[in-house]
Structure 1
Amino acid sequence: MLEGRLAARPSAVLPDHLQRQLACRQGYRGRYAPSPTGRLHLGNLRTALLSWLITRLQGGEWVLRIDDLDTPRNRAGAEASILSDLRGLGLEWDGPLIRQSERRGLYASVLSALRRQGRLYPCRCSRRMLADVSAPHGSTQVYPGFCRDRATGWGPQQGRLPSWRLRLQPGALLWPEQLAGSGSLQAETEVGDVVLRRADGFLAYHLATAVDELALGITDVVRGSDLWSATAPQVAVMHELAGEPPRYWHLPLWRDEQGQRLSKRDGGFGLDSLVAQGLDAPGVVGLMAASLQLVPAGTRLSSQELLQHCSLEALQTALQRQA
């Protein structure tokens, strides 16, 4: 069952019908969660392969979740191309395909429970107002709490609804990090109060992701190192729900010969383009494995053959060399 496992210990924040969806994690479970905003490029595909490998090497289940809540960014045909590419590389997932757009009721129920418990407050700060606000170290924007103690109300004002922010307590937000050193950011100075519902009414990425990692019993999250700073806001939501965060594997990004990270905007790095250039699925898997020095350059092998070739320890060592 994919449902009925919103990890660790039940939270007093949630009503009984939501607490019944919280349960302890059992065994290993990984996930791959692409957004249907375009074709997967080679870096995305390598992340999928590594997520699948890390899960299978632990004897776990691998879940495929489509993160399609931000509907204006979704592209027609993108989901179908994602499924085709994964199947083409032999990366089969366990259980049914999961779409976040079909789980809005769960997210909304959690959001409402947090609001009733006084964990949220309305924020009317615009992006323009916050444009020059950054963390002390200058790398990440941190919300300074302008609306924390203002009685601004939850309804529309001047035709605009507020965003909903989660009120964080001072202290370190911690998570188990497998590759990128320590997993820790200070809630007050490095993260700031997290938006859980945007002013345009869309449920926020951090809310949906945190709820799903718990609800689906995810034990290992494998994703790019560019998402490392997004971990703390998601961990903050998990803590509010009395859940324990999974282990995180933040992977080194694959870059082109000029040192630029691969992008969905660059269609030349998609699976279809590589096939058109003469690479079949074993050639693409070999190319991805060779990029991490798991196999010699030019090796051709299937995902299953790579699984038999690898150990978890060797894979982690290879990734840490490039982290």
Structure 2
Amino acid sequence: MVYTGRFAPSPTGPLHFGSLLAALASYLDARSHNGQWLVRIEDLDTPRVVKGATDSILNTLEQFGFEWHGPVIRQSDRLPIYHDILSQLIDNHLAYPCHCSRQQIFDRTGGRRYDGYCRTHPPKNSSDCAIRSHCEQRYPFDDLIQGHQPANDPTEDFVIFRRDGFFAYQLAVTIDDAEQQINHIVRGSDLLDSTPKQIHLQQQLGYPQPIYAHIPVATNVQGQKLSKQTLAPALDHQQARQQMIQALRFLGQQPVVELYDCRLEECLNWAIEHWDITAIPSQMSIVLETN
């Protein structure tokens, strides 16, 4: 089986150092296995999509030396597929409408997991409802970086279609990964909690389960994950080699001193040849060193 990995950014702004870590780790793991590396644009949450961000993301990836296989997939082009599979889940009683607000859930549970209220009290009118996946099982899994994840609690019934009319991340990403035959997923540890939900959907839909590896996310000194919301600066292609080396160090790869004066292509080739996923720290987050 051909190794197939992917990088799937959301076009909510330019790529930043945290984005580079996810792109680089997934790219190097794929290339070191002589595999394919795909790029997918996750643009379902249209109110957050920034005009021109997709072109900016793809241009930045090219400037940093990344090469991907096949066409770039955009989730916004795949809505009919998501609708068909959502209908399949509902028809098979694997998903159900839910009209509970966050406040109602909090009032009933005190802020704990969703209690499945609408599963036993179906809404009279489902036109203004979210759709939840029916899930009462535990989904432990082994992560190549973070180790065994025991799943001490059952996965709650989670939203797969939002009441505002948008598909939820969990459903779309599970469908896309299966249809693109993604069998290795290397991404940030902030998505570790999403994995049991995706495994649940994989089992419901008869999809194979990929191998997972969750890298530590980079944080600022306040402990906040680098993101557009925390005003992480955009990547600078004029500093591509320096930022690439910084990313390699963050990922525990110990780049040799000769890389500091070489071309970006040579830096990437060295990184592919010497890639060691077991050297990545098994931490959820690491404070980014600043000069």
- Shorter-normalised TM range: 0.7 to 0.9
Identify the residue that residue 246 of structure 2 maps to in structure 1: 287
Identify the residue that residue 18 of structure 1 maps to in structure 2: none
CA contact (8 A) 2:39 2:68 kept: yes
| Aligned CA distance change for structure 1 residues 271 and 134 (closer, same or farther; 3 Å) | farther
In structure 1, what is the Cα distance between the partners aligned to 2:222 and 2:135? 40
**Which residue type is aligned with residue 276 of structure 2?**
L
Q: 1:269 aligns to what SS in structure 2?
A: coil
Identify the residue that residue 128 of structure 1 maps to in structure 2: 103
Identify the residue that residue 288 of structure 2 maps to in structure 1: none
Identify the residue that residue 244 of structure 1 maps to in structure 2: 208
CA contact (8 A) 2:143 2:149 kept: yes
Matches within 5 A, 1:52-131: 52-131=27-106
Q: CA deviation at 1:191?
A: 2.2
CA contact (8 A) 1:91 1:303 kept: no
Matches within 5 A, 1:294-313: 294=253, 295-296=255-256, 299-301=260-262, 304-310=265-271
Deviations 1:10-52 (A, max 9, x none): xxxxxxxxxxxxxxxx311000000011111111112101110
Match of 1:164 among 125, 131, 134: 131
Q: 1:165 aligns to what SS in structure 2?
A: strand
Residue 175 (structure 1) aligned with residue 150 (structure 2): no
Give the unaligned 5+ runs of structure 2: 285-291
Question: Percent identity of the aligned residues?
Answer: 36
CA contact (8 A) 1:175 1:245 kept: no
Q: 2:119 aligns to what SS in structure 1?
A: coil
Deviations 1:132-153 (A, max 9, x none): 6779xx8xx5211111111324
Deviations 1:48-94 (A, max 9, x none): 01110001111111110000011011111111111111001011111
Q: CA deviation at 1:167?
A: 1.1
Give the unaligned 5+ runs of structure 1: 1-25
CA contact (8 A) 2:65 2:268 kept: no
| Aligned CA distance change for structure 1 residues 176 and 301 (closer, same or farther; 3 Å) | farther
Deviations 1:152-195 (A, max 9, x none): 24533xxxx1111111143x213341111113425xx4420121
Aligned residues: 282
Q: CA deviation at 1:265?
A: 3.4
| Aligned CA distance change for structure 1 residues 300 and 40 (closer, same or farther; 3 Å) | farther
TM normalised by structure 1 equals 0.79
Residue 315 (structure 1) aligned with residue 288 (structure 2): no
RMSD, aligned CA: 2.5
Which region of structure 1 is more displaced relative to structure 2, 279-288 or 230-239?
A: 279-288
| Aligned CA distance change for structure 1 residues 145 and 313 (closer, same or farther; 3 Å) | farther
Matches within 5 A, 1:262-281: 262-267=226-231, 269-272=233-236, 275=237, 279-281=238-240
**Which residue type is aligned with residue 83 of structure 1?**
L
Residue 229 (structure 1) aligned with residue 193 (structure 2): yes
CA contact (8 A) 2:96 2:131 kept: yes
Q: 2:40 aligns to what SS in structure 1?
A: strand
Identify the residue that residue 14 of structure 1 maps to in structure 2: none
Identify the residue that residue 144 of structure 1 maps to in structure 2: 115
CA contact (8 A) 1:164 1:195 kept: yes
